[in-house]
Amino acid sequence: MNALIRNFLVLTVGLMLGVSLAIGRSGLAERSEAPGPLPLDDLRVFTEVFEKIKNDYVEARTDKDLIESAISGMLTNLDPHSAYLNEEAFTELQVGTTGQFGGLGIEISMEDGFVKVVAPIDDTPAQRAGMQAGDLIIRLNEKSVKGMTLTEAVKIMRGDVGTSIELTVVREGAEKPIKFNITRAIIRVKSVKFRTLDKGYGYIRITQFQSRTGDSLAKAISKLKNENKTLKGIVLDLRNNPGGVLNAAVRVSDAFIDKGLIVYTEGRTEDSDNKFHATPGDLLKGAPIVVLINGGSASASEIVAGALQDHKRAVIMGTRSFGKGSVQTILPMNNGTAVKLTTARYFTPNGRSIQAEGIVPDIETERLSVSNADKPALDRIKEADLSGHLENGNGKKKTADKEKTDKEDKKNLASEDYQLYEALNLLKGINIMHTRMGR
């Protein structure tokens, strides 16, 4: 065995032991089964390939580059969410979790060698440009993404504020690729938005699960209660929410559930097995909830939707969610790099795995464009329009202006967001039935 192979074997074994030690220091329990002997024959093949690349490849590559590429390949071949983060990528990840950074505003993953849009973030350049969940990015500034790592793609998409980038995407149903020219901006992610939809009915949108999302949700509900004498129900909008912090998803679920299991995780180590339970108290005191989800609802969003569905606390409406039911743990290394490793799977309270299945809505409602099909040449004549008509015998009279305003509000909501319009109608229907049943 020549010196290069012998030294590289020592290096490889040391690297493997170093990763093992780093995992231990990062809080993961050691594997329950005893580790087997090192696969020396396989390592010899590995070092032979390393030597041939170093000596014969058309362009010179440093040992550091080759080793990092080998580690990266080892992780990216595990699943789409495991990755090796060099110092630059690790720094980028830490910047991205602060809630403010320069970029386009999309959550992405890798699929079949292309960059897949999990969801565009609300009020960002990508969302305003018209990018949608499920879009496959095939080119970045005319450079094919085939063969790129997710980290490399992110590095190209991020840049100085005010600069632009052209994204070419393939979209299901589109006849040809679509090009988007998007100008980078500071991305400020506001986790919770809310408003009153109709008297007594609130709307809460969670764009991303951050550390303070639970507190923001509680404040939103409090303000909606102040705006409405009685809060009869809410629509919780989790569409295009790519997920975020697990504890935030637990707190949001706990806000509406009095007791029981919210979510649990299972992995190969003891530290990967966790159960999260609800605490007493329901901020809505049993008022109905309709949760909106779609193909861009992932991870933490699916935890909330699954918990509320299993506890029969909400009606889930929309389309099947993304299906990211795996847990990633960031394991810092001693040299300033890190490993993002999938360590567990999520399960709903009833034991359903979210992974690659997603949450199936109780009521499937597609994203549709709605227009008014009833456009008569002349307005229909009603009894109230006839000259000398009798007044209502109950002495009640609804003004024409109020009637017109109500119709316009409903028409606008239906045309702007048909799924939300249907969710509001469902909430009203639930309340009507509860009232008639004396609840």
- Quickly list H helices, 296-436: 300-310, 400-416, 418-436
Token representation of residue 216: 């923001």
Tell which residue, 296, 422, 284, 286, has the closest CA to residue 363: 422
Choosing from 122, 310, 326, 340, which is the catalytic residue? 310
Check 299, 301, 321, 326 and give the catalytic one: 299
111, 298 Cβ separation under 8 angstroms: no
Tokens 């938005």 map to which residue? 193
**Catalytic residue check, 401:** no
How far, rounded to the nearest angstrom, does the alpha carbon of residue 310 sit from its chain's CA centroid? Answer: 20
Contacts of 418 (CB under 8 A, 6+ apart): 365, 367, 368, 369, 370
- Strand locations in 269-336 (E): 274-277, 289-293, 315-318, 326-332
Could you give the angle at which helices 40-56 and 3-25 cross, rounded to 10 degrees? 120
Is 324 one of the catalytic residues? yes
Instruction: Record the tokens describing residue 343, joined without a space.
Output: 């360590």
Q: How far is CA 47 from the centre of its chain?
A: 40
Nearest in space to 139 (alpha carbons), one of 173, 114, 109: 114
| Cα 304 to the center of its chain, rounded Å | 11
Could you tell me which of 258, 249, 199 has the C-alpha nearest to residue 224? 199
Catalytic residue (one of 253, 297, 301, 324): 324
Show Cβ contacts of residue 304 under 8 Å, excluding neighbours closer than 6 positions. 236, 238, 249, 252, 253, 291
Residue 330 to residues 98, 280, 333, 381, Cα–Cα distance (Å)? 16, 32, 10, 67
β-bridge pairing 274-277 and 201-206: unpaired
Active site residues: 299, 310, 324
